[in-house]
Amino acid sequence: MEEYLGSQVFTKDSQVVDKLYWIKECSGVYSVKSAYKFLQKQKGEWRQEDSSSLWFKLWRIKAPAKVLNLVWRSLSYCLPTMTMLAQKHVHVLRICPVCQDEDEPIMHALVGCSLASQCWHNILPDVQQDVNGDFARWLEKNLVQWHNFQGRSTQAFVHLKFEGDGAIYWVKPQARQIKVTVDAAIFRDQMWFGTGMVARDERGELLEAKSRLHNGVVSPELAEDMTMKEALSWIKARTWIQVIIEADCLTVVQVIRSKISIESPFGVVIKKCKSIMLELNDISLIFIKRFANMAAHFLAKKSCSHPDRVFDERKVPVELINILLTYMF
């Protein structure tokens, strides 16, 4: 474990009691989902979905589990429509039992039927009603409409309790305050992960910035967690006060704020973060969107070319200067 996380996280004289935990979850608690993913990877049957894939977009939809299950069954051709039952040699009529106008394949049941079509029109008037293709093609065309519809209710599904949470632009701190933004980046092919952090004052001017490259393969959440601990140690060493830390990893922000105890490497680092925060004076933690965190994100991504570097206003990459000026509100 130390070769992955470094001696700064786990030391030989650590007082942490050894406990069993499930390594495939940050919480350390076993889940069927993570076990299935692990077994599929072992068999070589799991492929990482990119952000442009239909499945990736589907599972990001905020909808009840039963709705997502219905869509999953439809895309997997497991929905028992009359046509699908007939293809499985079940003795039924292929005709749609609702409109009784034509056969009932999956596309007709969910889109083409007069009742389904009217429902879609009531919810999303601009939805495309092209029923000539298959359901997967139709869904991919109309997912944008669905995401736009959900976007009308701002932060309807994310519970953000602190003032400043969810900011989409970086905003200057108040007088005598310092803002530190943090981010992490994973380099799986090289088996590295990088950290980036940027400190700015009330005028929005750069106080100091750091990038660091670590060896090891860790989860994105653990990388963000370790970046947070590194930033807190940095703030403590610089003796800054009235500091606001901003991060775009909601999981880390929420867990640090909570009182829950997690028995896993992720949880051990969380405890260290909480411990350092108790030692510091007047420090707060805020969740921001990625767009507001572009400076720290840039340093984390560039940690391969700028490993273990400290920047100040006299020596700073030109690209970082442009980001600091462009993404400030």
Please tell me what DSSP assigns to residue 311. E
pTM of the entire structure?
0.60
Query: Encoding tokens for residue 63?
Result: 């909808």
Q: Where are the alpha helices (DSSP H) in the chain?
A: 2-5, 32-42, 54-59, 65-75, 82-87, 106-107, 114-123, 135-151, 220-238, 250-257, 265-279, 294-301, 318-326
Q: What is the pLDDT, as a whole number, of residue 251? A: 87
Task: Return the half-sphere exposure (C-beta side, CA atoms, 13 A cut-off) of residue 18.
Answer: 3
Q: Which residues of 319-329 are buried (b: 16+ CB within 10 A; e: fewer)?
A: ebeebbeebee
273 found inside a domain? yes
CA 159 to chain centroid, in Å, comes to 15
Number of domains within the chain: 2
Nearest to 142 by CA among 156, 122, 167, 125: 125
158 found inside a domain? no
Q: What is the pLDDT, as a whole number, of residue 36? A: 83
192 found inside a domain? yes
Domain end, chosen from 135, 151, 167, is at: 151
Nearest to 28 by CA among 219, 221, 263: 263
Domain end, chosen from 105, 132, 151, is at: 151
Q: Are residues 78 and 140 in the same domain?
A: yes
Q: Are residues 119 and 184 in the same domain?
A: no
Q: What is the pLDDT, as a whole number, of residue 15? A: 61
Q: Is the pLDDT of residue 13 over 90?
A: no
Neighbours of 203 (CB within 10 A): 9
Angle at the Cα of 7 from the Cα atoms of 246 and 302, rounded to 5 degrees: 45
Mean pLDDT is highest, among 25-29, 73-77, 208-212, for 208-212
Residue-wise pLDDT for 149-189, tens only, equals 555 443 433 445 677 788 888 999 999 999 999 999 999 88
31 found inside a domain? no
Residue-wise pLDDT for 132-151, tens only, equals 667 888 887 777 666 665 55
Q: Are residues 218 and 97 in the same domain?
A: no
Share in percent of the chain as helix, strand, coil (round to 5): 40, 15, 45
Q: Are residues 250 and 320 in the same domain?
A: yes
Q: Are residues 75 and 187 in the same domain?
A: no
Q: Are residues 221 and 136 in the same domain?
A: no
Q: 246: domain range?
A: 178-326
Q: What is the pLDDT, as a whole number, of residue 162? A: 76
Q: Are residues 190 and 128 in the same domain?
A: no
Q: Are residues 317 and 261 in the same domain?
A: yes
Angle at the Cα of 167 from the Cα atoms of 161 and 171, rounded to 5 degrees: 120
Q: Are residues 136 and 215 in the same domain?
A: no
261 found inside a domain? yes
User: In whole angstroms, what is the distance from residue 1 CA to residue 104 CA?
Assistant: 55
Q: Which amino acid is at 283?
A: I
Q: Are residues 205 and 115 in the same domain?
A: no
173 found inside a domain? no
Q: Is the pLDDT of residue 50 over 80?
A: no
Residue-wise pLDDT for 243-299, tens only, equals 999 999 988 998 899 888 888 888 899 999 999 999 997 899 999 998 889 999 999
Q: Are residues 122 and 232 in the same domain?
A: no
> If you average pLDDT over every residue of the chain, what do you get?
82
CATH, residue 302: 3.30.420.10
Domain end, chosen from 116, 151, 186, is at: 151
Query: Encoding tokens for residue 20?
Result: 């069993």
Q: Are residues 305 and 201 in the same domain?
A: yes
